[in-house]
Structure 1
Amino acid sequence: MLVLVTGGARSGKSSFAEAYASSLAGEGVYIATAQAYDEEMKDRIALHRQQRDEAGYRWTTVEQPYELAGVLMQWALNKETGSEKAAGSPKAPVVLIDCLTLWLSNWLLRYEQEPDAEQRVKGELDQLVAACRRFADSGRNLVLVTNEVGYGLVPEYKLGRQFRDLSGIMNQRLAREAEQVFLVTAGIPIELKSRAFRL
């Protein structure tokens, strides 16, 4: 099953995603996409690890700021071929990725100076969407955390506009693939996919 959890900054989306993921299996793999560029970010990452440890649920943390598609595809193939113990495959059926917005930012910054930066990032997104679907179709549970970033003003600079637009595209594409989509606001999760209006 593929689950997408979205919301604004400090909305409670990560806490909800962790709790929801822990209800799906006895242990999980936590794929963190954040990179520690400064001391404040190092402290944030350390705090998140500590909070997960104190929650009493067994998480194995994998730090992967870029190659989400490759990791998920490899684990899906290992599941399909029965070689789950190979190549570092997770032993638990639930995987949580937190967060896709940082993953997108990582790729956008990597390609920022390239003339076709936006197309390159869209290519990475194509691979991620395919890998998420393949992973979920292999019989595993995958919970994705992302941010809603389009409610504010249009950014004044090009990179900001690219980030906002690509975030929206990413969220729409993954929401279409997901069996469940949750919006978390003020710590309150609402499942949206089952309530979607259909023309």
Structure 2
Amino acid sequence: MAAAAPRILVLGGARSGKSRRAEQLVAEWLSRPPRRAVLLATAVAGDAGMAQRIARHQADRAQRLPQLACVEVGRDLPDALVRHSQPDALVVVDCLTLWLAQLMAPPQTAGALDVLDPAQCAAEIDRLSAALRAATGPVVLVSNEVGMGVTPLGELTREFMDTQGRMHQQLARQMTRVELVVAGRVLVLPPRAEEVLT
């Protein structure tokens, strides 16, 4: 029986090196042709600063990994993940944070997208979890770890932090490996406590 395709969740703070770590995983995967890789980009340019940030990421990636195809998916992440997954194609999602933000507080430039309530967000996360199970090839998910600082004062910000934390836990249960990137250094997180004790 063939081994299950790798599933890696890469977590880290802003400018921690998590996207660069995902690129390292892509380079390792592509080092054995005829493998392919595709990046599912979730960012939407809600303002000029974000547009510049996206353009910088695109230019840097194109220089470092010209063979990495890029597809902008916005909110359509679960369907895109299934659509692009193939046994010979690594799918990288960068990043889950921006995808969730679009569900909970879409930028005005995205048009008349509905703000999803907590139950609808949970349903979308369940759809993503199901898409991950249905994916036939390897997957790398990149996401910000936002829950390690002071609890925010704003209601929406607190709700976002809590929802993202629950999402990380739900998706981590499907991962073959979870990594935390801090200052460009990669820490491979151990299994859950209940997995260690059994």
**TM-based fold match above 0.5:** yes
**Unaligned regions of 5+ residues in structure 2, if any?**
1-5, 107-113
User: Which is worse superposed, 151-160 or 172-181?
Assistant: 151-160
1:37 to 27, 43, 46: 46
- Deviation, 1:109, is 1.4
Tell me, yes or no, if structure 1 residue 141 matches structure 2 residue 150: no
Normalised by the length of structure 2, the TM-score is 0.84
User: Which is worse superposed, 27-36 or 67-76?
Assistant: 67-76
- Kindly report the root-mean-square deviation, in angstroms, between the aligned alpha carbons of the 2 structures: 1.8
2:167 maps to which residue? Answer: 170
- Deviation, 1:57, is 4.1
- Number of aligned residue pairs: give it: 179
* Structure-1 separation of matches of 2:45 and 2:13: 21
Normalised by the length of structure 1, the TM-score is 0.84
Residue-by-residue CA offset, 1:1-55 (whole Å, 9 max, x unaligned): 2110001111101101111122113431111101011111111111111111111
2:55 to 46, 53, 64: 46
Contact 1:24 1:141 survives alignment (8 Å): no
Tell me, yes or no, if structure 1 residue 105 matches structure 2 residue 105: no
User: What's the secondary structure of 2:140's corresponding residue?
Assistant: strand
Poorly superposed stretches of 4+, deviation over 6 Å: none
- Deviation, 1:75, is 3.9
Contact 1:179 1:193 survives alignment (8 Å): no
Tell me, yes or no, if structure 1 residue 2 matches structure 2 residue 7: yes
User: Identity over the aligned pairs, expressed in percent?
Assistant: 38
Amino acid at match of 1:62: V
